Amino acid sequence: MRFFPLLLPLFAATSLFALVQSIEHRGVKVTTTLPDKKKITYHVKRKIPDICKKVSITNEMLWTGNFANPKVPAVCKSTFVHTKGKLLPMHLEEGLETFGELEVLIFLKEMQKDKNMLLIDSRTKPWFDYMTIPGAVNMPFIYFKKHKEYEFHFEYALKYLGVKKDANGEYDFTEAKTLLLFCNGPWCTQSPEMIFALLKIGYPAEKLKWYRGGMQDWLGAGMTSTRK
């Protein structure tokens, strides 16, 4: 399991394996600021109802879609979307890391004390408003994919990301933030399109991280979301 260099000092005096094995249930406290400046704190963790822990998982149940079996409590069921988009590779670009749920949790933990780290929901606003990962900010991928049509939003977003322009009008990524991007699932192309758009203008690949599983895998793993 690989973690980007920014996180390595955190684990110097402890067992990395022990940490990632416990963080999913211990959780991470994430404070996010709403548009009205109100702050809200979430305890982000894996939530498995006790009744679900008693459900025996068989080959038939797991591999033939029988989680919908009437004997399985409703609270233990998940709905998986698999008819949209297209499946994406595990790695998008050389030097660009792909994250799973535990890496996202660790990123969230570090992000609480490091303003140069940013979790980005690259979906359009209605999706973000309905539900997202606590602590994420919304930057619709379309602002980057079609930045000439959304010039104002694009330039404003870049400033928020710490990107400046030099005297020649060229982008300066010296103070660019480390970003972790996601969208709806491993079949969703919105976050990859935003990533490729950022790479095209010169954003350093090592400052971009991708949560391939997105909201589908996040919810499927029983993780906290902003939806009540």
Query: What does pLDDT average to over the chain?
Result: 84
* pLDDT computed for residue 6 by the predictor: 47
Please compute the mean of the pLDDT values over residues 108-133 and round it to a whole number. Answer: 95
- Residue pair 96/208 in contact by the 8 Å Cβ criterion: yes
The structure tokens listed for 193 are 């399109």
Q: What pLDDT does 122 receive?
A: 98
pLDDT at 1 > cutoff 70: no
Domains of the chain by start residue, with CATH: 7-46+84-220 (3.40.250.10), 49-77 (no CATH)
Position with higher pLDDT, 222 vs 70: 222
Compute the average pLDDT of residues 153-171: 93
* pLDDT for the residue 52: 79
Lowest model confidence (mean pLDDT) among 64-78, 130-144, 146-160:
64-78
pLDDT > 90 in the chain, percent: 55
| DSSP helix/strand/coil, 151 | helix
**pLDDT for 9 beyond 50:** no
Long-range contacts of 112-115 (CB under 8 A, 24+ apart): 112/28, 112/29, 112/30, 112/31, 114/6, 115/177
Q: What is the pLDDT of residue 11?
A: 42
- Digit-coded pLDDT (tens) for 202-216: 999 999 999 999 998
**Tens digits of residue pLDDT in 36-84:** 889 999 999 877 788 877 777 665 665 565 556 677 777 776 655 555 6
As a dihedral over the C-alpha atoms of residue 30, residue 34, residue 38, residue 43, rounded to 10 degrees, the angle is -20
